[in-house]
Each structure stands twice: as C-alpha cells, then as structure tokens.
Chain A
Amino acid sequence: MKTPLLQFTDNGIYCEKANVYLDPWKPVDHAIISHGHADHSRYGHKKYITHHRNVPIIQHRLGEINVAGKEWGETFIVNNVKFSLHPAGHIIGSSQIRVEYKGEVWVFTGDYKTENDGISTPYEPIKCNTFITECTFGLPAFKWTPQAEVFENINNWWAENKAEGKTSILFGYSLGKAQRLLKYLNTDISEIYTHGAIENMTEVLRPLVDFPKTTLITRETKKEQLLGNIVLAPPSAHGSTWIRKMVPYVTASASGWMTFRGARRRRAIDKGFVLSDHCDWGGLLESIEATGADKIICTHGYTDIFSKYLREQGYDARTEATQYGEEETEAALASKSTASV
C-alpha cells in the first residue's frame, strides 16, 4: 500500500514526501501553520511557513521565530510536493493548506467558517480529493444567524446597559473574536475599553485592519469612568478580581457555545450571543460538498457523530485524533476561566 500524502503521526499531520508538518503539536523542523491560535501554532519549530497576515500574530505570540510569509494561492514546492495557502475565513490570516502531489490534492482546513466576517479574508472552497476538516460545531443543533443581526443585538444590549448606568463586559477570545467584535461595536453609543491581552493583540493587527479606538484598562482606570462603556475581555477574565472592581456591570459572552441555554447559565453570564468563528452544521456540509472531495477526515469537534453522518451521506469519512480544539472546547474555555480566579 502506498503511503498517503498526509499522515497523522504523534507529532502532527505529516507529509513524508516533503518532510513537512501541518500545524504540528510537537517541535519539528518544518511547519506550515494554518493560523495563530495556540493549538495550531506552537512553540519550538525550526522553520515556520504561514500567510503573511499571520506572521505578526505568531511573532507576537511566539517571539523570535524563523518564519516565512506567503501570499494566498502562492505555490511553493518541496521535493515535488506543491503547497499553497487559501483563505479559511476563521480569523485574520487564517489559511487552509492545500497539498498536491502527482495530481492528487489534499486540503487541510485548520479552523474555518463560511460567513464573511469583513476582517478575515473570506473562505474559499478548494477542489480536492481528500478534505481534512474540523467539526467543532458538527451537530444539527448549531445554526448561526447572520452577523449583522448578532451585532445589532450586541449594540442594543450595550445601549440598554448604558441607559441603566451599567458597564457592559463582553467576553471573546483575545485573538479573533475580540477583533471581530471590536470592528462592529457602535462607537456612537459610547467608548470601548479593553483588557491587556486584547489590547496587545489588537495593536498588532491595527496595521492590517481599521479598528475603532480602544482604551486599555490600567490600575489608574476608575470604575466611574467605565460606566456606560463596553469592556472587551477574554473569557479567562470572568470571575476575576479585575472584573469585580467594575461593579455595576452586566456580562455577555459571544461564542457558538451560547447556542445552549445551559452553557450560559452554568458560567453565570448574564447574556449569550451566538457568534462563532467556526462553521455551523450547514456551513460544514456545504463546504464539504463544494470541495468535491470523496474522502473526508474529521480532526476535532463532534468527530464521531459528524463522520458517521457523512458516511451515511456516501462519503468515505473517518476521524483522526489530533491535539487541536483545546482552545475551542467548552470545557477548556470554562476551565481557563476558573483557573484565573
């Protein structure tokens, strides 16, 4: 049996022919990186290749690394294997990685979403034979509403809180979700304050995207100064003393997990907005169909359920264990939030 073009090894997804890893979770010599979240871009590789919009992100996160930036669709060949990066629409600079050898094409999605969020380059389906896909939200219970509607709700919520003289605290990951929220907050309502993790990451991305003005919360920031304004904070700040000082406040979380009533209640968040940087059920199915692939490999999320469904639909679908999704699971999200308390 011939060796598959990409293999799932202890180090990560491996192309033996080119001796290159895709989003490896252990230190390797050559790594192609889909995007800047911690579970996909890790420390310790000798060389990193990624989209140039992701370069400042991983430099900010990983410090001094040997990294080369590529354009969308720019082909680079290693030992006759053709690699190229294509927009994944997940966060700024997030790519799908296309791998071709002797006419056979594999695409690895990293994380992706089909909705154009206006700050990440929108997802493009890529024709391939084998499609390696995430399925974080691979259940029919997940259906996103268009972001314009969600942002309208978020801005209305902010305005209501302001009218009641309260500070609005909105939780979202410091890389990706926070900037997407920031982009669409209506600064006619009032001002935007940030947690340090979000301020720093946003600072890195300002040269790439036009964001509204933000003010970093420091020790000197008075809570009276925050009243009526909105604070963007990472989920880990929930329940921290940093937050408690902002009384009176109202909290909200923007995440795909907010689909579940239980998820919001259990974290004792006042309001949940369903907003995700991943595909919903319909998005996953459409994307898979658009690739024309007949072999599907599910890497993280509800993999067993989703791949079983795909097999029923006639795909040759299977699950491979990876170390992705740590960042994205609800448990991780929640345990991080308690760890910092």
Chain B
Amino acid sequence: MKNFAQLIKTLDSTNKTTIKVQALTAYFLKANDADKVWTIAILSHRRPSRPVNTTLLRTWASQLANIPLWLFEESYHIVGDLAETIALVIPAADQSSDKSLTDFLQEMIALKKKTDEEKKAYLYENWSVLNYYERFVFTKLITGGFRIGVSQKLMTRALAKATDIEEDILAYKLMGNWDPNTITFQELVLEENESDYLSKPYPFYLAYAIESEASDLGDIYEWSAEHKWDGIRSQVILRNNELFVWSRGEELVTDKYPEFAKFVGVIPNGTVIDGEILPYPNGTIGTFNDLQTRIGRKNVTAALLKKVPVILKAYDLLEWEGKDVRQLPFIERRKLLENLFNEVTERSRSDIPLHLSKTMHFSSWDEMAKERELSREKFSEGLMLKRKDSPYLVGRKKGDWWKWKVDPLTIDAVLTYAMRGHGRRSNLFTDYTFALWNDNEEGEKELVTFAKAYSGLTDAEFRKIDAWIKKNTLERFGPVRSVTPHHVFEIAFEGIALSKRHKSGVATRFPRILRWRTDKKIEEANSLDDLKAMIP
C-alpha cells in the first residue's frame, strides 16, 4: 500500500505526462504481480463494487472526527471530494501500513458481505492508524473513481515500457471482461491465450475534431464521408454463437439491448462490427433524449422496447471470418461490411435491427460542406471523414479520421444558480444553471431554468465568476446557491427536443458555455420561445 499510495501521490502532484509515465513505469517494475493487476484494474475503472455506501461513510467519518454530520457535509461541499474530506477531518495519525494493495482490496471485497458493525470497526481501525495520504488512498479505494489525470492510454504506455510488450497489443489484452481478483499478471499481460478472446472487443479508434478548414485535408478523392450519428458508440461481437455488445466506455451492455439477440445465427461467427446504437421510435432515428430512456435501465420492459426500440448503425468491420481485419484499408473493410449487410438483410428479410451508415463521396469540399448543412435534418451531428486507405487505429489518433460537426445551436441565457465543482474546481463555483425569459400566467416576465453547464470558460473567468457569486448569493440550498440575475452567457448545444422531465419543457443536448456576454444585460437574454423555435 505504501508504494501504491506513493504512486498516487506522485501522479496527483504533477501535470506533466512524462513524469506520470515515469512514475507508473517505475511502479510496474517494482510492484508484486498481484498489486500490478489491481493497479491496472483501478486505473482502468475496474474497482470492486463499493463495500460501504456513502451515507454510512459520511456518518462514521463524522463520528470519528467528532463533528456533527451537517458540518461534515458542509466541509465535503467545499473540499469537493468525499475521500479527501474524510481523510482531512479524521484526527491525524502517522502510521504506514505494511499490508499490500492486494491485501486491502481483498479485505474490501470481503467487507461487502459483513454487518454494518463489522464494516464500521474495519474503517475505524484503518482510518485511525494510516497517515494522511494512505488514509486518503484507502478511502478512495472504497468510494471508487480514481480520477487523477491518468488515462488508460497513459497507464498502458507505462505498462508497455515496463514489460516491453507493444502498446496496441497491451491495449487489446486489457480490454473486456476480466476479474482482477482471479486473473494473474501472467494471464492478463504476459500470456498469449486465444480462448480468452471470445468476448474481447478491439480498442476503439476515435477521431479528433477538424481544427481548421476541411479543405486543408487535401485531395477530396482520398476521403470518404458519412453522417456522424449521435447515439452510443459500440462494438457488436459474434463469436461461437454468442453475442457481445460493448460500449465505448468498455462496458458490456449486451443485456440492455435485447433487440440485437436477433443477430445470432444471422450474422456469421467471427464478426465484429463497429457502429452506433441509435434510438428508432416510429421507424425513424430518434433524439439522444429518447435514447436516455434506455441507458441505465438494466431491465428493459416490453413497453419501453416498443416505445424506443434501438438499431445498430454499422460503419466499420473489425473482424471477419474470425480474422482481425483492422489493417485492411477502410474501403476494403467497407466492402466486406456492405456485402455482409446485403446478405444479412436478404436472409432476414430486413427484420433485423441492423442499418448501414452510408458512405458518401464528393468531388469538391464545397459539395461536402453542403451535405454537412443537412445534418440536423438527417438526425446527425455532422460528418465523419475517413481516409479511404486508412487502417483501423487504436485510440484517439490524428490523421485518418476526422469529425466535422455542424456548428452548435446557441442561445443567450442568464446565470441563476451555481454549485461548487469537484476535483481541481473544488471550492470554486463552476457548475451553473441557466435560465431564459418566459411570460408567466399573470403575463409577467420571469426566468425559467433550462440547462446546466460547467465547461467552456477559462480558469480565469471561472475565478472571476466564483468571486462574484460569493458576493451575490441570494439563497443557499445545501451546496447550491441562487444568485442575483446579472450575467448573460452564450450557451451552445448540439441538439434540442421537447421533454416532460424538464421544467422548461425542453431538453438540450450537451449544453456548454460558449462565451461570457459581458456586453449584454439580462433583459437582452433570449426567451424560452426563442429556444422552442429551434426544435426541428
């Protein structure tokens, strides 16, 4: 645990990638195999499920710290991280633990089944002896979510350095379903074992947004374009008469989308398709808002299945006839995909939730730009540009794939509520709620909340607004403050749909702050009617 805590401390106390990779590599060279596996698991979001719920954690921590629960909660709002708050308020201790990371995690797994009294005793015992940083790391392991600026990519790079195994191969090995509690380092990283690969997805290839002009990409004949669909990026795997659906977050979501069970027996074994899960109510592509009703539901009811069925919009083929075809040029993979699609739809008489994302070829960039303008009508977010001769790469890489999204919709709204942020924004009011004008029943103008946003400003702007909020608070509701309506912000969003769940009656997709309109008075902000007029 000492070494792991030291590693986290080092990772947490630098912004420099090289130092992070160095520290991780050194750790991987030094740690025992079981600890290595757990470290990989933790840094790829595979921690064991939380053994103690946060309500109990808060209650017990405040008791041990001898402070009232409300004071613990207030401190938490300001510190912005539960494990950090717990580590800070508990009286100082100065010991270091000789138990390994694996010991702790095994204890935590066992802890889940124990009684509350036993859990409390376990936490008290460790909280009371560990020094500040180990106490923090220990609690973080319990609460989960180690967000310390180490991406899986960075961790994989360090592991590659420590093991001399190629980074792309490692990325593949670390994907999918494996249990850190049972797998060995040998099995996970070192061994070649084909049978393990049954459910394994390939690392996704991710595109960057075009930075300047699309025409800077050169010869248009080298590029294939298709619409960029706004759903859940996923990989559908058929191997050995089994279906596996993976989301980009490396989550196995097969059970959430029972529609795809129809693929088994129709799509041949040894096939992996890259595509987008899209909502398809009433025989057309729905909004992301429709899809929201499916995400997060483990038990999908028949009614919901009927109301918001989903389809797979297929755009690439990664495995064919049991072979990894990622190195084939894009157009050749597409040819295979299209043949597959035609065969499958013929065989199943189109009664299968598989659609093809059509590729388009243009003879000028202007022509392509015109197609992009039609994106909203076609229920897409813009275009995807793929180089015709490109292989399917690993992770986010520049060069062969580009996103060319349509410009977002924008509206000027008034800041009405603010909440403290988390992580590097803890203790700063950075999470905002925005409102638009609306006439109420008495015919008076009032501000109606329509969206929350917490990105898009510079750190300096956030600090200015934070200072202003602290001086212009009207009311406090726990961590939330209402503020004097005074500041106008231009809010950008990707899509818009009617919604019963929102007070304003409208849901916006990915709202974020585009700029601070210091030149505008609140009277000049837009109205809810202006917003509704944008609904297609």
Give residues in A with beta carbon < 8 Å to B: 139-143, 145, 259-266, 268, 270-272, 302, 305, 308-309, 312, 329-332, 334-335, 338
Contact = CB atoms under 8 A, between A and B. Distances in A.
Interface in B465-479: 466-467, 470
B88 A259 contact: yes
A335 B92 contact: no
Contact of B463 (A143, A302, A331): A331
B414 interface: no
Interface string B1-42: 000000000001111000000000000000000000000000
A309 B71 contact: yes
Contact of B85 (A141, A264, A312, A329): A141
A255 to B, nearest CB: 13
B427 A338 contact: no
B67 A335 contact: no
15 contacts: A140-B65, A140-B67, A140-B89, A143-B88, A260-B426, A262-B79, A262-B422, A262-B423, A264-B13, A265-B12, A265-B15, A265-B424, A302-B78, A331-B470, A332-B467
A260 B428 contact: no
B464 A271 contact: no
A308 B13 CA distance: 35
B459 A139 contact: no
B17 to A, nearest CB: 14
Contacts of B107: none
Given A265-B12, A309-B67, 8 more contacts: A262-B424, A266-B459, A268-B15, A270-B13, A330-B428, A331-B467, A332-B467, A335-B464
B168 interface: no
B425 interface: yes
B426 A335 contact: no
Given A260-B79, A262-B81, A338 B88 contact: no
A331 B14 CA distance: 22
B13 A141 contact: no
A338 B470 contact: no
A191 to B, nearest CB: 26
Nearest to B16: A270
Nearest to B65: A140
A141 B68 contact: no
Nearest to A268: B15
B146 to A, nearest CB: 12
B68 A312 contact: yes
A140 B65 CA distance: 8
Contacts of B533: none
A118 to B, nearest CB: 22
Interface in B58-95: 65, 67-68, 70-72, 74-75, 78-81, 84-85, 88-89, 92
Nearest to B476: A304
B75 A140 contact: yes
Place the interface of chain B in its size category.
Answer: 35 or more
A145 B92 CA distance: 9
A330 B427 contact: yes
The 3 closest A-B pairs by CB, nearest first: A262-B426, A141-B88, A338-B460
Contacts of B428: 266, 330-331
A309 B68 contact: yes
A261 B92 contact: no
Contacts of A312: 68
Nearest to B72: A140
Nearest to B429: A331
Contacts of A305: 71, 74
Nearest to A330: B427
Contact of B427 (A262, A271, A308, A335): A262
A288 B80 CA distance: 28
Nearest to B430: A266
A141 B459 contact: no
Interface string B287-301: 000000000000000
A182 B442 CA distance: 66
B467 A260 contact: no
Interface string B341-382: 000000000000000000000000000000000000000000
A338 B457 CA distance: 14
* Residue of A141, A142, A266, A329 with highest tally of chain B CB at under 10 A: A141
B12 A261 contact: yes
A26 to B, nearest CB: 17
A143 B71 contact: no
Contacts of A334: 459, 463
Contacts of B71: 140, 305, 309
Given A262-B425, A334-B463, A139 B74 contact: yes
Interface in B187-208: none
A329 B464 CA distance: 13
A260 B80 CA distance: 9
Nearest to B468: A331
Contacts of B459: 266, 334, 338
Contacts of B424: 262, 265-266
B84 A261 contact: yes
Interface string B423-442: 11111100000000000000
Contacts of B85: 141
Given A260-B79, A305-B74, A141 B15 contact: no
Nearest to A272: B13
Contacts of A264: 13
A331 B164 CA distance: 46
A314 B81 CA distance: 30
Contacts of B74: 139, 302, 305
Contacts of A145: 92
B469 to A, nearest CB: 10
Given A261-B12, A331-B470, A332-B467, A141 B427 contact: no
Contacts of B65: 140
Contacts of A263: 426-427
A142 B467 CA distance: 21
Most buried by A among B74, B81, B92, B459: B74
Contacts of A140: 65, 67, 71-72, 75, 88-89
A264 B424 CA distance: 8
Interface centre among A261, A308, A329, A330 (most CB of B within 10 A): A261
B460 to A, nearest CB: 4
Contacts of A139: 74-75, 78
A268 B92 CA distance: 27
Contacts of B463: 331, 334-335, 338
A334 B113 CA distance: 46
B220 to A, nearest CB: 41
B460 A260 contact: no
A259 B88 CA distance: 8
A272 B71 CA distance: 25
A139 B78 CA distance: 9
Contacts of B14: 270
A261 B426 CA distance: 9
Contacts of B13: 264, 270-272
A260 B84 contact: yes
Most buried by A among B12, B71, B72, B466: B71
